[in-house]
Chains A and B, each alone.
Chain A
């Protein structure tokens, strides 16, 4: 049974055509699979390994090297909270405490309803609006616990 089908499969073919060496498409392919399936499963790795003719262990090695790639699902809204200097010294630390107190959300975990997950990350290039978080592909800055709560409530719907 083929695992990567439909749009995903089409995108993979397109991506491979962009590069002089199709192997260069590995990161974009992994991004695509993660976007379409939520994470990169064993089945996906097997198929990518066949498509690109790269050993599975090497693909796993690549996935573990890059912090954005995951082999397990994340929450519907994945919160990446910056733990670097500008953010952490200007209110970021309080945001971490708030998420734990208010949502029971610790770094590396989910909320019970799988809506939110949290990871602490290095600088995300939003230091002028510290403290900042990235939720899926969007950035939010100048946060306070109250503002963060408003944002999460809106997303929760």
Chain B
């Protein structure tokens, strides 16, 4: 049991009573990694992160070390660190556990990151609904400041770093990094055209490093145990463990920290307790609602970025949503398109019109006024959004909706035929 826990980063800490308080965190080795990091050369730290094969936990899976090395190293340049705690992808609830239970792990990770990249100011952009967790963060930041882990001359070194917690106000799109920056600048959250990338021109036009909560919270362990150790926990090119969040029709929904590359079937049946009431599994969304759905016979697959990409889906936020035989895929489609329609920022016509057209077609199906051509039109419309928008939101709509309708077309047709039988 303990042997197993040593290969995990978060779970052993989650189980410690009072770990959100700085004294308890310190008792369990907290802020040791920061002390160590401050003795290292900055490029040595970045090298460790590269060796770790840590890939972004926000969704896209971009190698963290590489992203860091895109930042200008000149210290005279004003630079920013932003932690993305927007956690808006439906099905996702993992960052919540870090924010509420391990605020100091996140702060320590931020301080190490800031030191390595030469940053003096960090923001945590947290979704507005997480007001309770924002207060926990504020308290933890105050504790860390008093103990000189952040603030001026950290641990007596010539290193200064401050953190501000910034609450969003209810807009899914603000999880997208450039929309987040716009939002943090006090504007509507409209994604920006890239390039320039945030590493060149981000917050206030200054070089900005943006990483997800789980990404940054992995940094202290990488410094303590070295990058190669972290890499060895996962699968090829996918270092570390991942906080998988399982929801829906399983016996034990919740978060499970498991090695990258753990088989999806194993997660559902061995860890999350299998399907409720011994029903038959129908489908799984493996990485938040934007990850194309897998049918029951497609879940024998390693949960890493590359394997899921190959299967036509994505690991995304690691949010696993499980559906059983009783769940209507048409209801899933309805909820999905209402979500995208509501959350489209409206900036790009293909996304704005596309979601509107699909929503109307889905309503037509629900009213039993649709034909098979209407179903095909949904697939075509979804396809037509992909690649045509400023940000990947449009691709997500296209992929997620298109795949769902393609894979469950028969179920939708059956629904339409039912009416014919009745009348």
Contact = CB atoms under 8 A, between A and B. Distances in A.
Nearest to B171: A66
B323 interface: yes
Interface core residue of B87, B185, B336 (most chain A CB under 10 Å): B185
Contacts of A126: 93
Nearest to B92: A125
Interface residues of B, number: 54
Contact of A61 (B128, B188, B335): B188
Contacts of A84: 90-91, 289, 335, 339
B332 A127 contact: no
B397 to A, nearest CB: 14
B160 interface: no
Given A27-B168, A28-B166, A89-B331, A127 B342 contact: no
Nearest to A62: B188
A89 B121 CA distance: 42
Given A66-B171, A86-B248, A123 B185 contact: no
Given A26-B186, A127-B91, A68 B169 contact: yes
A85 B130 contact: no
Interface core residue of A21, A124, A127, A134 (most chain B CB under 10 Å): A127
A76 interface: no
Nearest to B346: A65
A74 interface: no
Given A20-B204, A125-B87, A86 B321 contact: yes
B161 interface: no
Contact of A27 (B92, B186, B245): B186
Interface core residue of B128, B188, B285, B335 (most chain A CB under 10 Å): B335
A111 interface: no
Contacts of A121: 129, 170
Contacts of A62: 186-188
A9 to B, nearest CB: 19
Interface in A27-77: 27-28, 30-31, 52, 54, 58, 61-62, 65-69
A27 to B, nearest CB: 5
B185 A85 contact: no
A91 B372 CA distance: 31
A85 B96 contact: no
Given A125-B129, A127-B245, A130-B247, A85 B184 contact: no
Interface in B303-348: 319, 321, 323, 327, 331-332, 335-336, 338-339, 342-343
A123 B88 contact: yes
Contacts of B87: 125
B99 to A, nearest CB: 10
A61 B247 CA distance: 35
Nearest to A34: B169
A49 to B, nearest CB: 12
Given A23-B186, A124-B129, A88 B171 contact: no
A80 interface: yes
A127 B185 contact: no
A125 B164 contact: no
Nearest to A138: B132
10 contacts: A27-B167, A54-B186, A85-B332, A85-B336, A122-B343, A125-B87, A125-B96, A127-B93, A128-B245, A128-B253
